[in-house]
Each structure stands twice: as C-alpha cells, then as structure tokens.
Structure 1
Amino acid sequence: MPVTIAAIAAKLGDAARRFDIDVLPSCDSTNAVLLARAESGAPSGTVVIAEEQTAGRGRRGRSWFASPGDSLTFSLLWRFAPGTAPAGLSLAVGVAVARALRGVGAGGTALKWPNDILKEGRKLGGILVELVPGAPHAAVIGIGINLRLPAGMPDEVRAASAALSAGGAAPDANDLYAALLGELLLTLETFATAGFAAIRPRWLAHHAHQDARVTLSGDFGPPREGICRGVDTDGALLLDVDGRVERILSGEVSLRPA
C-alpha cells in the first residue's frame, strides 16, 4: 500500500492535528530538507517523509542506505520551550521507536547507546538528532528503519543489519508511520516537561548491553573495555572500568560487545 498523508492521518486520529506531513518521492536527506524548512520558520510537528533518500545521513558521517520500498525514512521538527536542555533526546526518541514497533507487532527490539535500534543484535534502524542553527531548543529528529535489506547493500553492512520483513512480511508503512508519530508525540511531551530523567527507566528496560562487558572505541585514544552500567539522567553512558564508573558524553564513539 503506498504511503499517503490521508492514510497516516486516518490512523493517527485526533493526534493528526499536531503534525504537518509532507511525503516526497525522493530527496537527498529528510534531515537536510527539514533543517532548511526549520530555518525558514516551519512549525513544530512538521514531518518530511521520503520514499527514497539519495544521500541519507547517519551518525559520524555514515551513509544510510534507503532504496524505494525498502526503508522507512522520515524527519520530524520539534520546537521546545526556550531553555529546554536537549540532553538525552536521542535516547528518548529510541524509547518511542521501540514502543511503536511493539505496538504494530514488531517487538523484540533493543536500544544501543546512543541512537541505534537493534533486532537480534543487528542494526534495524537509527536515529539522528540535529539542533536547528540559531535555535538550540528546536530539533530535527531523523529516523530510518529497514523494512527490507536493499539489494545493493554492501555485504559487510548486510551482515550487521536487520529488517522488519525477516521471517515474514513487514508491517504496513502507513501503520508504522502513524504508530511512530503517535509515540513520538507522547514521548516528546514528557521530555519537554520532565526531561530524559522521566524516560530513563523505559530506556534501561530496552538496553541491549545492560551490565554486559563492552568495548568502547573512538576517533581519539585507544579502545577501552568495561562493564556497561546503563545511562544517567542526562543520557550519558556509564562505563565501569575496574570499579570506577566513567560518564561518556560524546556520541562520537563506537560501542561493541567485548
């Protein structure tokens, strides 16, 4: 079934009034498109959906493979009250994604700090949060989820990737978009009033590496091993290294099971 604004709005019900949805057949990056619209004054709740992304962006400058019909890719603009701290926002969004997938019968997902959605230990989707230049209380939230693995995906990426269609048909895309937007609305309203601290217990319940030994590597310095103790109320990763707990604030690192 094709993705349509009418179908998504019908499934959202009254909550549809909180969103201004645009469906594009193709674009370079939904985040890039929406950042430009945000700087031009687009309202909170603006959504850009792309059936195809030609230059989708992931964390640390990586590409996001999104062929027509294979991926669910969209970005949401959300404007918070001035002074709202964005700490932990990408983690809060991960909770919304996990709850939405469970709501459409695609449960069994886990969250990996800071912004990956996993299925059976492989990457099912990702989140990219970018603050709007000149408006640090406004964020563009980009989400990509694999419905099917694209035929042109490199073998090394395919081996570490998962898709909702594994073992059967993927859920209807309109159902997925409606479920995701509905859960994002609830989660972002909670985040706006109580911050990530109110959402943290739900994130920990989905945490893929809680109390597991992990290796943390980055662009600076050698890899480190420790036991992952979850996250604090600001969304910082807690790494137990020989009995001393360190707070990892930068998302420019790679976390793997040891």
Structure 2
Amino acid sequence: MSDRTDQELARLKAQLGPVAARFDADLLETCPSTSSLLLDRAAAGAPSGAVLWALEQTAGRGRRGRAWVARPEASLTFSLLWRFQPGTRLSGLSLAAGLAVAQALEGLGARGIALKWPNDIWLDGRKLGGILIELHQSGARTAAVIGIGLNLAPPAPGDVLDQPVAGLSESSAVSTDPVVALAAVLASLATTLDLFERQGFAVLRDAWQARHALQDQPVRLVDDSGEAEGLCRGVDAEGALMLERDGLLVRVLGGDVSLRRRG
C-alpha cells in the first residue's frame, strides 16, 4: 500500500467518525472493477461493511452491459459489501441505495438531486451517478455488492457520452473531496440499509418518491423484448415501477430494463 492510499484511508476513517467501525475499507490506485474484486472477496468470506475504493477504474460495469470508467480526480467509484440476515426481502434495494446517496449529497449541500428508476442519480436533469447491485449467496444469507459511481467533475472535452452528464462540482455541494463524499455516502448507506433490512423498501418509498425525476412524465421502457410507452406514476411499496398505459397501471419489476424520458 502506498503512502497516498494510507493517507486517504486515514482521512476516511477520521471523516467517518463513530461509524468508522462499521466499515473495512481498502483503497487501490487502479483496478478493472471494484465490484468484481469485491464479489471475489465476498466469496472468500469478507465481512459485511467491506469497502473497495479505486482511484481509477478501467473496466467498471453499468446496467445493460454499459461501461463505467472512472477518471482519477474526477470520479468516485467504490463498492460496498453488505450481508443481510436470512429472510430479508431485497425488493427495492437499488432504490434504497440510490436514496441513501441522494440524501448524503444533499447533506453536503447539493441541490437539484433527483432519482431515476431503478438506479440513476441525476443533477438538474443530467446523470450524476449510477448504482449496480450484484448478489452473492452464502448458505441462508445473501450478500449484496453495491457498486456506486459518482462524477465529481463534469465530462472532459472530447468525452464520448450517450446522455447528458453532470459533475458534483456543478452543484452547490460544499465539497467535492472524494474522501468527504465517500464518508457521507457510506454513513448514509449504513443508516438506510439498517432501516431497509428491518422494514423493507415501503418505509423509504415516500422519501424516494419526493426525489423522483420522471414522476407523471411520458416515458419509454426498453428491454430485450422490445419497448413500451406510458406515463411514469412512481413506484410501489416494493420498488416496482408503475407505468400507466391506456388508463391502466402496469407493474414493472427491476432487472435488465432501461427507462427513458419520451420525447
């Protein structure tokens, strides 16, 4: 471990304060994918609260096979391992994680934060970050590897993008220091995941809905079977999207589905 990573991890522990004991963080200068490495560590018995943070990620994964590449100093990319008690219903977990991230950024002073089902964080209508959750089963217990990528700075000139992208530096956040942002997000995740484990997504639904980017807007759903259009009517108590089509509500579960604003 380099002096730089030692110093950053010491700063993170200090920033986390009393909740630092709930996390076991490791920092890499560069790696292909924090989630892939943490899944391997989960299989080897890594504890709940294990965090793998990379200054540079070269082969990160997003939903539907998209890449998430982190540029040093411009992105925050990390994965968190969280082990749930047997019998925990995980419906809506990606939404709960997104809510935790949004609340953490708001706590840093960011305004204009919104959530797009099922796993995107937006700033003023542009993508600020994303979440990818992968599960690992060990006996009766399920472990979730929660991969999170946040743009700390806006895209650089020449970046090839498939959608409008924002950076946290464009918000009113008091800091874009990756250590400060990571500590805030981890602390928020611990509180939110504890509540989620006890009571499910239903107790978080209203807070998620209050930040819903596409509420009552015309949208298009895309998956491997085709496309569907309708009005986005929010989510139910299990985190399923409610799509209104021809006056009827259709319940759309998570998975390999992309939701886009129509127009």
Percent of pairs identical after alignment? 55
Q: Which residue of 1 aligns with 2:97?
A: 93
Q: Which amino acid aligns with 1:5?
A: L
Counterparts of 1:63-212 in structure 2, within 5 Å, are: 63-134=67-138, 137-151=142-156, 154-157=159-162, 160-166=164-170, 171-212=176-217
* CA 1:127–1:7: 2 relative to 1, 3 Å: same
Deviation string, structure 1 residues 224-250 (Cα, Å, up to 9, x no partner): 221111111111100010111001013
Per the normalisation by structure 1, the TM-score is 0.93
Distance 2:97 2:144 in 1: 12
Deviation string, structure 1 residues 17-59 (Cα, Å, up to 9, x no partner): 0000101101110000100000000000000000000101101
Distance 1:171 1:242 in 2: 44
Distance 1:224 1:95 in 2: 26
- Provide runs of 4+ in structure 1 moved above 2 Å: 133-136, 149-157, 166-170
Count how many residue pairs are aligned between Structure 1 and Structure 2. Answer: 256
Distance 2:153 2:161 in 1: 16
Paired residue for 1:213, among 206, 212, 218? 218
Q: Which amino acid aligns with 2:115?
A: L
Per the normalisation by structure 2, the TM-score is 0.92
Paired residue for 2:52, among 34, 48, 69? 48
* CA 1:188–1:69: 2 relative to 1, 3 Å: same
Paired residue for 2:253, among 231, 249, 252? 249
Distance 1:167 1:224 in 2: 33
Distance 2:48 2:212 in 1: 29
Paired residue for 2:13, among 5, 9, 13? 9
Deviation string, structure 1 residues 104-158 (Cα, Å, up to 9, x no partner): 122211000000001111111000000014466210000000012453764333x
Could you tell me whether the CA contact under 8 Å between 1:65 and 1:150 is conserved in 2? no
Gapped runs of 5+ residues in structure 1? none
Residue aligned with 1:252, SS:
coil
Q: Which amino acid aligns with 2:24?
A: D
Could you tell me whether the CA contact under 8 Å between 1:100 and 1:180 is conserved in 2? yes
* CA 1:83–1:23: 2 relative to 1, 3 Å: same
Q: Which amino acid aligns with 1:175?
A: V
Distance 2:191 2:131 in 1: 17
Report how far residue 190 of structure 1 moved: 0.1
Paired residue for 1:32, among 29, 36, 55? 36
Could you tell me whether the CA contact under 8 Å between 2:95 and 2:239 is conserved in 1? yes
Report how far residue 166 of structure 1 moved: 2.5
Q: Which residue of 1 aligns with 2:66?
A: 62
Deviates further, 31-40 or 223-232: 223-232
Distance 2:158 2:69 in 1: 7
Report how far residue 218 of structure 1 moved: 1.8
Report how far residue 170 of structure 1 moved: 5.5
Distance 1:257 1:31 in 2: 29
RMSD: 1.9
* CA 1:31–1:247: 2 relative to 1, 3 Å: same
Distance 1:167 1:106 in 2: 5
Paired residue for 2:240, among 236, 239, 257? 236
